[in-house]
Chain A
Amino acid sequence: QKEVEQDPGPLSVPEGAIVSLNCTYSNSAFQYFMWYRQYSRKGPELLMYTYSSGNKEDGRFTAQVDKSSKYISLFIRDSQPSDSATYLCAMVDTGGFKTIFGAGTRLFVKA
């Protein structure tokens, strides 16, 4: 079993839809959770960064962490064609320094 599971998609939605991207994990020591966006042929860009459980909102993006279920989500409201990219979840435990990445979900937002 992988430490972090993420559905690779692709996920195709119409413009304006609410997008839900998710990851599950098995290591209960993970405390830091990140979401990255990667456009084709570019390096990943940090979108959201949360510590422990709870919600964090930034514009159209909301990151949600449920440590009891070992489940994290990224919601994108009013999705735009420019949101079309691969979204990677990432996690770090309290003791380690290594970041574990999910496989990435490819998102297509159709105009």
Chain B
Amino acid sequence: GAVVSQHPSRVICKSGTSVKIECRSLDFQATTMFWYRQFPKQSLMLMATSNEGSKATYEQGVEKDKFLINHASLTLSTLTVTSAHPEDSSFYICSAPRTTEIAQYFGPGTRLLVL
């Protein structure tokens, strides 16, 4: 079964509003989680690494004030898209590795549409 969940699965919002996406590890603790963005028919683009108890690490070109990440506990990381604009419309996916494993386990993704 699923080991990483995401909520909501789909969200439609108006331009200028903020949207929060939650990522939870279901049966393990994750000190690190990853946030990706994926455009149609394209591969995953790593946005940031979420670290429990410390600041997230953002990839080059990703605005940290635009995409706020909070790793509130060992099982929860949140991504908030602030002042969303239509160009932020995309598929956002989180992932987490189990403590003793290298492979990442992905959430089901959140489809964001900004009108």
Contact = CB atoms under 8 A, between A and B. Distances in A.
A16 B49 CA distance: 40
A60 interface: no
A44 B93 contact: yes
A102 B93 contact: no
Given A34-B103, A92-B102, A104 B109 contact: no
Main secondary structure of the interface of B (DSSP, over half): strand
B43 interface: yes
A102 B108 contact: no
A49 B98 CA distance: 13
Contacts of B105: 46
B106 A97 contact: no
A41 B104 contact: no
A101 B43 CA distance: 8
How many B residues are at the interface, by size bracket? 20 to 34
A102 B45 CA distance: 11
A88 B36 CA distance: 14
A42 B41 CA distance: 12
A43 B43 contact: no
A96 B92 CA distance: 23
Interface of A: 8, 32, 34, 36, 41-46, 49, 88, 90, 92, 97-99, 101-104, 106
Given A44-B106, A49-B101, A49-B103, 17 more contacts: A32-B102, A41-B91, A41-B109, A42-B108, A42-B109, A43-B108, A44-B93, A45-B106, A46-B104, A46-B106, A49-B102, A99-B102, A101-B43, A101-B44, A103-B42, A103-B43, A106-B41
Interface of B: 4, 6, 32, 34, 41-44, 46, 49, 91, 93, 95, 101-109, 111
Chain A to chain B: the 10 pairs with minimum beta-carbon distance, closest first = A43-B106, A103-B43, A43-B109, A32-B102, A43-B108, A44-B106, A49-B103, A104-B43, A43-B93, A92-B102
